[in-house]
Amino acid sequence: MPNYTLQQLAQITGGRVIGDPQTMITAVKPIESADTGSITFISNPKYAQYLESTKAAAVIVSRQIEQAPVALLQVDNPYAAFALVMTLIYPDRPPAPGIHPTAVIAQSAQIGQNVYLAAHTAIGENSYIGDGTYIYPGVSIANDCRIGDNCVIHANVSIYQKVSIGNKVIIHSGTVIGSDGFGYVFAQGKQQKIPQVGTVEIEDEVEIGANVTIDRGALGATCIGRCTKIDNLVQIAHNVVIGENSIIVAQTGISGSTKLGKRVVLGGQVGVVGHIELADDTKVAAKAGVTKNTAPGTVLAGFIGVPHQEWRKTEAITRKLPDLYAKIKLLEKEIQILKKPLKDSANE
């Protein structure tokens, strides 16, 4: 592992050292278990108590913390600086570029420079793999796909035909991109499939977790915006559009033709119905259900399934709760007034 002095880390992170700038950093560890030679960080104030007892060589802190019995690296954003230091101390060590003998590459496919194709990968007709991209074992890339530069596609990912992926995209194992959207029509006494002839477009610096499914558009494209991060086990239906820098947490499902703006955050197990729009900076708490359009900056929470008629009645009452609460408070005051003469009479 590379070693850095605290001063070198300060120069890289734009921070300021309090203590010995020549302190040598050889590891990154949690503040509770950090020891000699390791650096740790505090971004949550509740961990500030450990500053007095930690055995770390140094601690990354905000600029508001100026004193401690240990060397400090003051930065504007401790969590971001911690992530950067992690990449320095524990650099990724990918295999050397090359094409494994068992890789199957169509004659019309184009492979860029410094590409890694692992064992049992398959690249379809007219597909393109950009420079510096790493494709791990068992990945299947169908016809007419475009994979950008410096991507990492982990083992057993399936990418269907006509999918377009930008630069610096990371896709984790087991994910399926471009499978048919869930489109059926009931006709002639049975569910009949609606052809799904669109595609998927993924912009630069997107990261997609393990076992995610992103369906192709019925017509047009399902689109994932730049720098969006998608957790494991997420379902994104056909023709969904997700804006840049959004966060989609595990086990979330987004129904077809829904549009998410920029910087939208969906917590774990959120469900979003189809054909609605979530505006920029919308945030949805875990397990919530979203059924209507939102305004910019909306924060949503809660959803419980009950029989439909009961739900309608409950919803109607729920909307009146502020008025009912005000009436109850008024009644409580009137009761206290009525009780007062009774108390006075009893005292006499």
pLDDT per residue over 148-203, tens digit each?
Answer: 999 999 999 999 999 999 999 999 999 999 999 999 999 999 999 999 999 999 99
Instruction: Tokens 């108590």: give the residue.
Output: 49
CA distance 81 to 64: 15
Neighbour tally for 82: CB within 10 Å: 19
Q: Give mean pLDDT, residues 78-96.
A: 93
pTM: 0.85
Q: What SS3 state is found at 278?
A: strand
Q: Can you give the pLDDT at residue 304?
A: 62
Q: Give mean pLDDT, residues 241-245.
A: 98
Instruction: Tokens 């305004």: give the residue.
Output: 295
CA distance 165 to 226: 11
Q: Can you give the pLDDT at residue 340?
A: 72
The CATH number given to 4-89 is 3.40.1390.10
Q: Can you give the pLDDT at residue 97?
A: 97
Q: Can you give the pLDDT at residue 343?
A: 56
Q: Residue 63: which residues within 8 A CB-CB, separation 6 or more?
A: 16, 74, 75, 76
Catalytic residue among 100, 154, 238, 308: 238
CATH number, domain 98-300, options 3.40.47.10, 3.30.1050.10, 2.160.10.10, 3.20.20.70: 2.160.10.10
338 confidence band (pLDDT: 50, 70, 90): confident
CA distance 257 to 14: 43
pLDDT per residue over 196-239, tens digit each?
Answer: 999 999 999 999 999 999 999 999 999 999 999 999 999 999 99
24 confidence band (pLDDT: 50, 70, 90): very high
Q: Can you give the pLDDT at residue 87?
A: 94
Q: Can you give the pLDDT at residue 103?
A: 98
pLDDT of 333 strictly over 70 = yes
Domain ranges of the chain: 4-89, 98-300, 308-347
- Whole-number mean pLDDT of the chain? 93
CA distance 85 to 4: 10
List the structure tokens of 83: 């992530």
Task: Give yes or no: 172 in active site.
Answer: no
